[in-house]
């Protein structure tokens, strides 16, 4: 970067990660945050993945403008990824420049930290850096880099990458790594891969319920934008409802409302079904048995989602839970 300048440092998050805010704000630290220097011991990489984008499968995607610097174990004992977004070309940039405009960088910083403050699982923003360079989109814009922190960057699309290549060994290694990272209690259990699917289903059901409770619209719920950690990831054309309308869309390219506010729960389950497809060879040798296990796991989505949504709405309204009245989600409203 020509002249990197630190615009915002999340000092509290840096402390949690065991990093020294004063160093990060120094010229040497800013050089690392901007991607001009690599910290000692780091081996940066861009991650490959596949994904369904607006329902269409693309077997080869990847981090076109993001570099994973590495992992840190914070003072709370949690392991997290640190990633630069907008730092330059990668092997997956295709026709892009690998850069990010400063506006979206600041937008993701604000939204990620707002979601964290609302108690919604999310990637976090460690820093926003102005690059001193210009990026060209529809017009010339100032460039920026976001330093993103996540429990991991493992996506449904990461599993799809290996499944599309019929790489069973790679799929198994990825599943084992995901279990070790997010669900270590499953290691050594009789059915660890089924347990992983059930855990991801539960996390996503809870996450989407929390989105709806605050009127959040992700905007681009492609399978490569669904993290197995259950964190909100990739803040693109997202927003919060100003007036309640389940058909509200905040993506200029979502012409048919696939990712509208009211469609987010069924789309989440659809994405989870794509994950289940990837895991079928690991669930059971018999195909019918694997399918039965996958269907049972996916069937847990709606009860979990409805319970989380109703519990949140009761808390909002100051109501205690009474009776056993069941509610169902429709494309337009909640109905008894």
- Residue 83: which residues within 8 A CB-CB, separation 6 or more? 66, 67, 68, 69, 147, 148, 149, 150, 153
Query: Are 17 and 126 in contact, with CB atoms under 8 Å apart?
Result: yes
Distance separating the N- and C-terminal Cα atoms of the chain: 56
With vertex at residue 60, the alpha carbon angle to CA 69 and CA 67, rounded to the nearest 5 degrees, is 10
Instruction: Please state at what angle helix 168-182 crosses helix 156-164, rounded to 10 degrees.
Output: 160
What is the DSSP-derived secondary structure letter of residue 98? S
The continuous run of DSSP H or E covering 217 comes out as strand 216-217
Give CA angle at 77 (16, 27), nearest 5°.
Answer: 35
User: 224 an active-site residue?
Assistant: yes
DSSP state of 47: P
Contact 144, 17 (CB under 8 A): no
Q: In whole angstroms, what is the distance from residue 54 CA to residue 225 CA?
A: 11
Residue 17, Cβ density class (10 Å: 0-12 exposed, 13-18 middle, ≥19 buried)? buried
Q: Give me the helices (H) in 88-186, please.
A: 102-117, 156-164, 168-182
d(CA 160, CA 49): 7
**What is d(CA 253, CA 206) in angstroms, rounded to the nearest whole number?**
27
Distance CA 129, CA 123 (A): 17
Annotated catalytic residue, options 183, 224, 234, 254: 224
Give the active site residues.
224
């Amino acid at each position: 970067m020509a002249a990197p300048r630190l615009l915002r440092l999340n000092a509290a998050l840096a402390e949690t990660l065991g990093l020294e805010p004063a160093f990060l704000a120094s010229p040497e630290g800013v050089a690392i945050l901007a991607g001009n220097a690599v910290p000692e011991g780091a081996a940066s990489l861009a991650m490959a993945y596949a994904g369904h984008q607006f329902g269409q499968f693309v077997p080869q995607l990847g981090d076109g403008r993001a570099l994973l610097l590495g992992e840190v174990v914070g003072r709370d004992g949690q392991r997290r990824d640190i990633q630069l977004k907008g730092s330059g070309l990668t092997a997956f940039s295709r026709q892009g420049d690998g850069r990010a405009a400063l506006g979206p960088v600041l937008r993701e910083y604000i939204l990620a930290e707002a979601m964290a403050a609302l108690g919604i699982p999310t990637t976090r923003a460690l820093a926003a850096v102005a690059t001193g360079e210009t990026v060209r989109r529809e017009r010339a814009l100032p460039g920026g880099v976001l330093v993103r922190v996540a429990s991991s960057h493992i996506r449904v699309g990461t599993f799809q990458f290996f499944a599309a290549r019929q790489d069973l060994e790679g799929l198994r290694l990825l599943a084992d790594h995901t279990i070790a990272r997010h669900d270590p209690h499953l290691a050594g259990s009789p059915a660890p891969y089924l347990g992983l699917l059930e855990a991801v289903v539960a996390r996503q059901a809870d996450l989407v319920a929390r989105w709806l409770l605050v009127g959040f619209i992700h905007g681009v719920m492609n399978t490569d934008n669904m993290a197995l950690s259950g964190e909100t990831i990739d803040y693109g054309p997202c927003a919060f409802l100003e007036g309640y309308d389940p058909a509200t869309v905040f993506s200029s390219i979502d012409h048919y409302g696939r990712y509208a506010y009211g469609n987010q729960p069924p789309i989440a389950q659809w994405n989870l079904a794509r994950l289940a497809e990837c895991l079928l060879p690991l669930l059971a040798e018999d195909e019918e048995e694997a399918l039965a296990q996958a269907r049972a796991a996916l069937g847990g989505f709606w009860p979990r989602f409805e319970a989380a949504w109703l519990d949140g709405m009761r808390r909002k309204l100051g109501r205690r839970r009474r009776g056993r009245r069941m509610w169902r989600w429709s494309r337009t409203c909640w109905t008894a």
